[in-house]
Amino acid sequence: MNVEVRDLRVDYGEVRAVDGMTFSLGEGKIYGLLGRNGSGKTTLMSVLAGFRRQSGGTVRVGGRPVFENGKVTGEICLIRDAGETIDIDKVDDALYFAEWLRPRWDAAYANELLERFGLRRKMSVKAMSKGQRSALGVVVGLASRSPLTMFDESYLGMDAPSRYAFYDALLADFMAHPRTIILSTHLIEEYSPLFEEVMIIDRGRLVVREESQTLLARGTAVTGPADRVAEFTAGLTVLNTRRLGPTASATVYGDLDEARRRKAREAGLELGPIAMQDLFVHLTEPSGDAARAVPAGDAAAPHGADQSGDAR
């Protein structure tokens, strides 16, 4: 299901959580939504799901407005970090209401996921650990088979094996039943292999909208003798440098042309891929360097220093 957002604005009193955001998402892709705490991620996803009315601008999902439009919201599933089922008595009740609300609900797949995550239908939701509630949210989100499915840090309570089980289940089910999926996460390196495209927002504005591989290609890790690394990277945008004895590794942002790459090889330096988390930190750093480094593409104008966001 496609998503169209134009000049979106969301205010909480005098605080502007989303500020003039414009973007479009195509169908059948997995999108990563990245941002620091307070960037506006949760507010944005709440508006996309119809949980909150925007203060200005337009939001359309499948070509139709979302807020107070039951025909559209029935095709959207948002699972938030606190879980959507904490006030429900039993797991069985959570699944009953999920099936009632979601026209594409797959009960057989829900049962399969319950077994995978070690959940039982008669378990009390209130007595569950945070990890178990997170797993239940994942079950509801995946089994909903909603054309627009969003997970807002909903798997943070899960331990590593459970998160990897979610990773595998999501990818396998997406391949079998393509739909538009948005993942908001702080576990960037763990989940970045899932992302086909990445959106980075900062202080309520869109900083980057880019295909994952294109974004990663903008950075390079330069490794070798510390003095040669320092000489090679002089004048380049260096995100960080790590040193171990006589060896250093510098993370460089920006395209390296063939002449520079040849110079690196001649100096005995190794060039390698960059971690997405390093790019994310650079593009959202408070100093404002992101404004100089925004890549070309579907991104909003650089943010101003006075922007503020919501609690997440």
* Token duo for residue 109: 């797949």
Environment class of 274 (CB within 10 Å of its CB; exposed 0-12, middle 13-18, buried 19+) = buried
Distance separating the N- and C-terminal Cα atoms of the chain? 25
Q: Are 30 and 195 in contact (CB under 8 A)?
A: yes
Instruction: Give the model's pLDDT for residue 274.
Output: 84
| Tally of structural domains, the chain | 2
Among candidate residues 188, 211, 234, the one where a domain is terminated:
211
* Token duo for residue 249: 């590794």
Rounded distance between C-alpha atoms, residue 50 and residue 69, angstroms: 8
* CATH value at residue 271: 3.30.70
Please state, in angstroms and as integers, the Cα–Cα distance from residue 210 to each residue in 25, 216, 217, 263, 267, following that order. 11, 9, 11, 29, 32
The DSSP secondary-structure symbol of 27 reads S
Supply the range of the domain harboring residue 241: 219-293
Instruction: Give the model's pLDDT for residue 230.
Output: 94
Instruction: Give the model's pLDDT for residue 84.
Output: 55
Tell me: do 69 and 149 sit in the same domain: yes
Tell me: do 62 and 185 sit in the same domain: yes
Instruction: Give the model's pLDDT for residue 86.
Output: 56
Instruction: Give the model's pLDDT for residue 292.
Output: 40
Would you give per-residue pLDDT tens digits along the chain (312 residues)?
A: 899 999 999 999 989 999 999 999 999 999 999 999 889 999 999 999 999 999 999 999 999 999 999 999 999 999 987 655 556 789 999 999 999 989 999 999 999 999 999 999 999 988 888 899 999 999 999 999 999 999 998 887 889 999 999 999 999 999 999 999 999 988 888 888 999 999 999 999 998 899 998 888 888 999 999 999 999 999 998 888 999 999 999 989 888 889 999 999 999 999 998 888 888 888 887 754 444 444 434 444 333 333 333 434
Tell me: do 224 and 203 sit in the same domain: no
Judge whether 239 lies within some domain. Answer: yes
Judge whether 226 lies within some domain. Answer: yes
Judge whether 303 lies within some domain. Answer: no
Number of C-beta neighbours around residue 143 at 10 A: 25
The DSSP secondary-structure symbol of 179 reads -
* Token duo for residue 104: 């594409």
Instruction: Give the model's pLDDT for residue 255.
Output: 81
Judge whether 61 lies within some domain. Answer: yes
CA Rg value for the chain: 21
